[in-house]
Each structure stands twice: as structure tokens, then as C-alpha cells.
Amino acid sequence: MQLVVARIGRAHGVKGEVTVEVRTDEPELRLGPGAVLATDPAAAGPLTIESGRVHSSRLLLRFEGVGDRNAAEALRNTLLIAEVDPEELPEDPDEYYDHQLMDLDVVLADGTEIGRITEISHLPSQDLFIVERPDGSEVMIPFVQEIVTEIDLEEQRAVIDPPRGLLDGGEAEVASSRDAAKDES
């Protein structure tokens, strides 16, 4: 299985280094020297990591055969893709790879269907589930423990407890169990 592990940013210096937006919780495993990564667009790769270092809180990588700023800049916005065993799981049981979460059914604690995860957006501040509802509309659900209360891979579902107003449209009036409990007090 292929997973996007990073996106190449701007060139750094004149010797072919690039900044990298890391998209994996295991950069030391996926982005170490000698790693061979597929790319998107495919014509840019595969790329073999020659060296890496952290500079001003950013990961810098140098690839074999990329020896100057112009070659490095030509790689800007290229996605780096690692081949991962589909059975491999993160070390922390509360962490998940994107491919494990894709297509999970999203439901409320009482079983009310909200939709299906079609995309996972990784923002600097938090991750979001993009959920397609039965009517074809989409809603964004922050992937935080207070809202996503359970991930059940066996049952292929994510249970959510959304705050009032998170679900717009016809579902907007559905109060989460947390809000209902507050209203009863």
C-alpha cells in the first residue's frame, strides 16, 4: 500500500536541499537516508534520500542526483510516497494511518448515520475528516478525542459526539449526548 509521507517545499540553500512538510508520525522510519520514495507526479521520481537534518524546526532533505538549487526547486510541491505493508499498524493504539480511516461509516453514539469518511485533511492545527452524507453533501469533523469518541476498525465505523451546530443542514438540530446532558442539568 502506498502512503503519502511528505510534500516537498521550497529549495533551501544552493546545494540541492529542500524543505519538507512531513505527513507521517514516523519521519525517522519513512524519511531516513537510503529510503526510496515514489512521487506524485510520478515523473519526478523515484527519489532516494541522501541525507536529512532539522533546521529551524523544519526537516530538510537532500536527494541523490539533486545537486543544486534549480533541481531542488523543480521538485517543489511533489508528494513523497512510501510503500507500506497494509497490515502494519502504528505503535500507539490510539493512532491510525489514513488508509485505515478511509471509508469508515460515521455515526452518532445512538447509531444515527451521519455519512462516510471520503478524505482526511491534515492541517497544521488539526486533522479533519471530510464526511460525505447520504444526500451527497459534505461536513468536516475535527479528528479530536472530544468529538470522535471511538474508532472501531472491526465494525468499520467512527462514532462521534458533535457539539451543537457542527453538523449543518438537516442534522444541525441533532444535539450531541454531551449537549443533551448539559440541557438536562
Domain formed by 2-83, architecture: Beta Barrel (2.40)
Q: Give the pLDDT of residue 30.
A: 85
Domain formed by 98-184, architecture: Roll (2.30)
* Residue 2: other Cβ atoms inside 10 A: 12
The Cα 50–Cα 53 span in angstroms is 11
Write the pLDDT tens digit of every residue in 101-132.
Answer: 889 999 999 999 999 999 888 776 788 899 99
Write the pLDDT tens digit of every residue in 65-114.
Answer: 999 999 999 999 999 998 877 677 777 777 787 778 889 999 999 999 99
Q: Where are the domains of the chain?
A: 2-83, 98-184
More confident residue, 124 or 170: 124
- Asked whether the predicted pLDDT for residue 176 surpasses 60, the reply is no
Q: What share of the chain is helix, strand, coil (3-state, %, to 5)?
A: 15, 40, 45
Instruction: Determine the average pLDDT of the residues in 36-49.
Output: 93
More confident residue, 180 or 4: 4
- Asked whether the predicted pLDDT for residue 52 surpasses 60, the reply is yes
Residue 178 binned pLDDT confidence (cut-offs 50, 70, 90): very low
Longest CA span, the chain: 66
- What does pTM read for this prediction? 0.58
How far is residue 21 from each of residues 1, 102, 178, measured CA to CA in Å?
A: 21, 22, 36
State the chain's mean pLDDT as an integer: 84
